């Protein structure tokens, strides 16, 4: 495909970018998987017509999903679980932390992994060959339901929008199981959509998480590829504080980060009034 690619939001808003060529297009058991070459965004991963990530701006998303939780854990994470994230960007960031002994990646669609390894190799980089990686192709909801209690220091949900194969990743039972498999000091972090374009999903997710976890805090940052520009992630835990930055860990990560630093970390958790009022904070 060459020309212009468009994504439509709620039949009210569209974003578009020029495509030079299609590098990969396939229909898996779960979804249409495409990787497009764009002069603005480099190589772009699209799933079922929804923009997932690009070479040019992926670091905003992946660094903000991973590092705020990793750097604020009371004890440095050794055992990490990632649900989704078949492009490899999240595991790449997790494995930058020297404390990590094992990261398990559970991705439902093997086609996404294979296509990204071949056509988006920069995202996963050396993470795909790291001996600390345990790669599982399977259903993340089922994996979490069957995992041992209090087994992980950190669980990261790098899911798609809550439609199709990603729908169960926003369910109450899934969130409850994520809490169950966390160690007492552990944390759960997820991408939680745009509070502007996906207002209903964002606030409903905050409500459900608050019923399950003792501590829940959304945070914001830019993801230029996504339609609204502003995106959200949410940190959850049984105890702890996402602003309890461990400076030694943060300094080590800042050296190689393109977006994340301690100032960004603190600022991301400063919630705008229009969100704080709805959350009654």
Q: Ramachandran region of residue 239, left (φ > 0), alpha (ψ -120 to 50) or beta?
A: beta
Q: Are strands 102-107 and 79-84 parallel, antiparallel or unpaired?
A: parallel
Measure the CA–CA gap between 5 and 279, rounded to whole angstroms. 36
Q: Are strands 79-84 and 50-54 parallel, antiparallel or unpaired?
A: unpaired
DSSP 8-state symbol, 270? -
Question: Per this entry, what is the length of the chain?
Answer: 281
Q: Are strands 215-222 and 42-47 parallel, antiparallel or unpaired?
A: unpaired
| Element (DSSP H or E) covering residue 112 | helix 110-119
| Element (DSSP H or E) covering residue 24 | strand 21-27
Take residue 173 and report the two structure tokens written for it. 């039972």
Whether 161 is a known active-site residue: answer no
Q: Which residue among 57, 109, 153, 158 is the active-site one?
A: 158
Decide if 91 contacts 127 (C-beta within 8 A). Answer: yes
Active site residues: 158
């Amino acid at each position: 495909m060459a020309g212009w690619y468009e994504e439509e939001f709620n039949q009210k808003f569209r974003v578009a970018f020029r495509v030079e060529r299609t590098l990969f297009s396939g229909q898996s058991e779960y979804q249409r998987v495409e990787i497009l070459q764009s002069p603005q965004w480099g190589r772009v991963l699209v799933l079922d017509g929804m923009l997932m990530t690009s070479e040019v701006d992926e670091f905003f998303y992946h660094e903000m999903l991973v590092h705020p939780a990793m750097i604020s854990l009371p004890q440095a994470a050794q055992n990490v679980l990632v649900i989704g994230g078949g492009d490899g960007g999240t595991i790449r960031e997790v494995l930058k932390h020297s404390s990590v002994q094992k990261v398990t990646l559970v991705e439902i669609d093997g086609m996404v992994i294979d296509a990204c390894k071949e056509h988006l190799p920069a995202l996963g980089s050396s993470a795909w060959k790291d001996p600390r990686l345990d790669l599982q192709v399977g259903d993340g909801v089922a994996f979490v339901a069957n995992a041992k209690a209090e087994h992980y220091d950190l669980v990261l949900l790098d899911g798609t929008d809550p439609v199709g194969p990603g729908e169960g990743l926003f369910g109450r039972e899934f969130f409850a199981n994520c809490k169950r498999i966390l160690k007492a000091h552990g944390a759960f972090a997820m991408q939680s959509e745009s509070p502007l374009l996906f207002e209903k999903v964002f606030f409903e997710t905050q409500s459900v998480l608050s019923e399950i976890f003792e501590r829940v805090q959304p945070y914001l940052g830019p993801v230029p590829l996504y339609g609204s520009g502003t995106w959200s992630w949410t940190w959850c835990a049984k105890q702890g504080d996402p602003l309890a930055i461990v400076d030694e860990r943060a300094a080590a990560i800042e050296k190689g980060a393109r977006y994340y630093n301690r100032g960004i970390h603190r600022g991301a958790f400063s919630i705008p009034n229009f969100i704080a009022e709805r959350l009654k904070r």
